[in-house]
Amino acid sequence: MAVALPLPLRRTFTYRLATGMPAPLAGTRVRVPFGERILTGIVLGGEPGPAPDGLREILEVLDAVPVCPPDLLATAERVAERFFAATGEILKSALPARLPSSGAASYRITEKGALGAASAEPDERPILQRLAGGESVRVVDLPGEGLPRLSAVRALEERGWIRPTSTFRPCVSRPEIAYALGALRGAERESALGRSRKGREAVAFLDSLGRAASGAEIRASTGAGAAVLRGLVAKAILRSFEQQRQADAPFSPGGQPRFEPTAAQAAAIDAITAAVRERRYFPALLEGVTGSGKTEIYLRSIRAALNAGRGAVWLVPEIALTPVFARELSRQFPEDAAVLHSALSERERAEAWDRVRAGKARAVIGPRSAAFAPVVEPGLFIVDEEHDASYKQRESPRYDAREVVALRAKQAGAALVFGSATPSMEAYHAAQVGRLAHLKLPERIAARPLPRVEIVDLRRQTARPDEKGVPLFSAPLVARLTEVFSRGEQAILLQPRRGFAPFLLCRDCGHDFRCSRCSVSRTVHDRGQRLVCHYCGERAPKPARCPECGGAVLEAIGAGTERVADRFTELFPGVSSAVLDRDTTRRRGAAAALVEGMRLGRITCLIGTQMVAKGHDFPGVTAVGVLSADTMLHFPDFRASEKTFQLLAQVAGRAGRGDAAGTVHVQTFHPQHPAIRRAAEHDVAGFAAEELEFRRVFFYPPFCELAALLVSASDRERASEAASNLARALASTSGALRISGPAPAPLERLQGRWRFQILLRASDRRSVLAALAAAVPERPPAAVQIAVDVDPQDLM
Ligand code: ADP
Ligand code: ZN
């Protein structure tokens, strides 16, 4: 039998069945010997008949029913092939790590089984007798043993004579304590509150929220901990009770859509739902300006899919940043929603997977990995913010979720909706040539205008003496923010780098404190107290003197979010602000708390990296400031321009989503750059026309298929030589290829390894894959690693 193992090897392994062992179905997990180890793999299929001698035997079959449904197994194999990855690794990313053995499931007899008992096979009869009383019994407690018992159970289940009650014991997650306002109100409450600042904040928070909140939620937003809250309960200012955790609890018992769709929304919904009902493959680009109401289209399409008896998968870049989507899905479809987010425990993930696979939950929302959600009879796949780079996995296996759902949609005859205000050049081009239907929402809801964007030329702004010629807050931005805050409106500030400053410089000798293991300078963190390498995570306290020359004047150059936040407080004392970036959102729930704080108006100004640009809908935001638009322009990546355009247009789109109009200030040293100008004009078509022309002329995606090969070793010579050999091997394959390199990768050294890059281009994927198959050795030379990234989104 062919078995896929979770190893980075692009081949399957063949194992023999022990005598008398019934052949496990494809998609079943088995334990097999591999070298000295025992691994869990997935059966792909193969001969159940006699296997040649010399093969090793399958040790154990873990599941009575396949954990991976056949359609998904086929998808995994196709994805592995298309991304030059290992099927076993793809399956490993697709399946939850701790899926319990489905042999541990419990079963109950069905009416059909009770009626048919007399005509059952001899090995089935004892099982039916044991179940005859109607109770639910675990497979291990049923009569019989091992595999014969499993195969009898399977046969009975296939005939519908017994059915699994639940693969899991019901999830009883620990309840949490929630708080609501208590009996005390008005002046009485005022005097009981006394001087406790945190207590007052907690009460104000609950007041503004208008509902109960969990202790964790209150602490995240106000800093009031359990002791403070208990004190308030003791004074009858609050009351407390136990509630189910938010993650498990449906938001409210079922719900209707929130709005009547606009005409433009209705047209898109009609096109999508017609395909869903007709079981027709319908790939579409939903290009809707920011604030045009794409979410409502997704929700209505999901409703239509469920009504048609089909399931839906809704991919979002980062669920923690858009908790309202998941909440709305759970509110509208409390029975059917499954939220797959990264904060789930392995057990919760396995439970969700099982609910979905069993057809109990049919509407799934989640990030990249949810592309593999085992939805039964899928009729709709949505990729929200389709342009987002997070859909491509950077580590092995390097698959692209967009392609995964495209394969599944085609196979299932489903609608496939790529939604974005700033489509990727791939999607835009596909829509132009008719491979994607082009659905458009050209206007914001309620005909709200798109925000006016002002480009601020930093060359004409005077910097403060400590700013080294690069002003942080330009005069026009400060003036606008002052106005906005005085009206009680909110703002978002984007600074695309985290930490205090991008690097530290010795004023005497110019030493720049590079990481000892990576070819990048370390970033200054903790208000200048620490140096951190953003690539390998290495941290060190800031030295008092330069290690090279002993110089004492060490200067933090440039600004990250931390420094921007400090300067903000200086400029706008008393205006509440918070930082949203990778550093401030490490704790589980922290991102959602910040987003919620912004939504409720507790935070007036949100400062952050690109995380502030992601799909948020804060109606109170009327001003957006981009402190530096240039960071990404200089990246050595053919997508630098596209990514800059998308980031600017997306962050601009956060302004003016409510009743008051919005403005955007974009600070840049390159005011004429097309990416910046077109973003300021909200001109997707104009940007795409120029950008696609560049891609066509220079033979880049979407006009070619690209693969990046990265050869690395801790010894530079060794890496360089292996890279040259690989390039030669590629060149000697027969296809029509364009090979660039080897050249040192933009990030030449990472975690102590030297890296060389080869770019391989051809006009079709098949040629790329054929060349890779012919040239990339199954085992690289000693101490060398070869990483292949097909259709890379990141060329560092
Ligand atoms: P997008 O994802 O296109 O940026 P959203 O889906 O966030 O836009 O919608 C923008 C705002 O308009 C949201 O506040 C949403 O609740 C509201 N909205 C969407 N559709 C309608 C509608 N048909 N009528 C009224 N308001 C709507
Ligand atoms: Zn490093």
Alpha carbon nearest to ligand 1 atom 14, residue: 617
Q: What is the pLDDT of residue 416?
A: 98
**Ligand nearest to the backbone CA of 446:** 1
Whether residue 31 is predicted with pLDDT greater than 80 in this model: the reply is: yes
Cα–Cα dist 560/497, whole Å? 5
Contact between 649 and 421 (Cβ < 8 Å) = yes
Q: What is the pLDDT of residue 346?
A: 80
225-259 confidence digits (pLDDT tens):
888 998 998 888 998 887 755 444 433 345 778 88
Ligand 1 atom having least distance to the Cα of 289: 3
Mean pLDDT of 158-172: 61
420-468 confidence digits (pLDDT tens):
999 999 999 999 999 999 999 999 998 898 999 999 999 988 878 777 7
How is residue 643 written in tokens? 């990514």
Q: What is the pLDDT of residue 632?
A: 85
Sign, Cα dihedral of 433, 436, 437, 440: negative
Mean pLDDT of 698-708: 96
Q: pLDDT-based confidence at 621, cuts 50/70/90? A: very high
Ligand 1 atom having least distance to the Cα of 260: 23
**Ligand nearest to the backbone CA of 447:** 1
DSSP 729: H
User: In whole angstroms, what separates CA 172 from the centre of its chain?
Assistant: 27
CA torsion angle 501 506 509 510 (round to 10) = 0
Contact between 102 and 125 (Cβ < 8 Å) = no
Which long-range contacts does 543-551 make (Cβ < 8 Å, 24+ apart)? 546/506, 546/508, 546/509, 546/511, 547/511, 548/506, 548/509, 548/511, 549/506, 549/508, 549/509, 549/511, 551/506, 551/507, 551/508, 551/509, 551/511
Query: What residues have their beta carbon closer than 5 A to ion ligand 2?
Result: 515, 517-518, 533, 535-536, 538
Alpha carbon nearest to ligand 1 atom 19, residue: 293
Whether residue 393 is predicted with pLDDT greater than 60 in this model: the reply is: yes
Mean pLDDT across the chain, nearest whole number?
88
Of the ranges 135-144, 161-170, 555-564, which is most confident? 555-564
Cα 292 to middle of ligand 1, angstroms: 6
Q: Outline where 540-631 has alpha helix (H).
A: 561-571, 590-599
Cα 366 to middle of ligand 1, angstroms: 20
Residue 239 identity: R
Cα 125 to middle of ligand 1, angstroms: 58
Mean pLDDT of 180-205: 85
Cα 540 to middle of ligand 2, angstroms: 11
**Ligand nearest to the backbone CA of 533:** 2
Cα–Cα dist 46/760, whole Å? 34
* 13-17, 411-415, 479-483, 567-571, range with the lowest pLDDT: 13-17
Residue 689 identity: A
Pocket-forming residues, ligand 1, beta carbon under 6 Å: 259-262, 265, 288, 290-296, 445, 617
Cα–Cα dist 669/459, whole Å? 6
CA nearest neighbour of 492 among 445, 463, 451: 451
Q: What is the pLDDT of residue 10?
A: 87
Cα 291 to middle of ligand 1, angstroms: 6
How is residue 212 written in tokens? 């109960």
Alpha carbon nearest to ligand 1 atom 20, residue: 293
What is the percent of the chain where pLDDT is above 90?
56
297-346 confidence digits (pLDDT tens):
999 999 999 999 999 999 999 888 888 898 889 889 988 999 988 778 88
Q: What is the pLDDT of residue 767?
A: 94
Cα 453 to middle of ligand 1, angstroms: 21
How is residue 784 written in tokens? 């060398």
Ligand 1 atom having least distance to the Cα of 617: 7
CA nearest neighbour of 132 among 151, 115, 148: 115
Mean pLDDT of 216-227: 79
Ligand 1 atom having least distance to the Cα of 653: 4
Whether residue 413 is predicted with pLDDT greater than 90 in this model: the reply is: yes
Mutate to test the pocket of ligand 1, among 256, 296, 327, 646 (most ligand atoms within 8 A of CB): 296
Mean pLDDT of 756-779: 94
Cα 694 to middle of ligand 2, angstroms: 34
Q: What is the pLDDT of residue 613?
A: 93
Determine the 3-state secondary structure of 208 from DSSP: helix
**Residue that is written with structure tokens 């009869």 in the block:** 125
Q: What is the pLDDT of residue 105?
A: 63
Q: Is 751 left (phi over 0), alpha (psi -120 to 50) or beta?
A: left
**Residue that is written with structure tokens 């499954």 in the block:** 338
466-503 confidence digits (pLDDT tens):
777 778 999 999 999 999 999 999 999 999 999 999 98
**Ligand nearest to the backbone CA of 265:** 1
Cα–Cα dist 663/455, whole Å? 11
Cα 542 to middle of ligand 2, angstroms: 15
Q: What is the pLDDT of residue 47?
A: 67
* 103-107, 223-227, 604-608, 628-632, range with the lowest pLDDT: 103-107
Mean pLDDT of 196-219: 82
Ligand 1 atom having least distance to the Cα of 292: 3
What is the percent of the chain where pLDDT is above 70?
95
Cα 422 to middle of ligand 1, angstroms: 17
From residue 305, alpha-carbon distances to 101, 182, 378, 382 in Å are 31, 43, 8, 12
Q: What is the pLDDT of residue 726?
A: 96
pTM comes to 0.82
Q: What is the pLDDT of residue 246?
A: 47
Cα–Cα dist 114/290, whole Å? 58
Q: E-strand spans in 73-207?
A: 106-109, 137-138, 162-164, 176-181
Q: pLDDT-based confidence at 283, cuts 50/70/90? A: very high
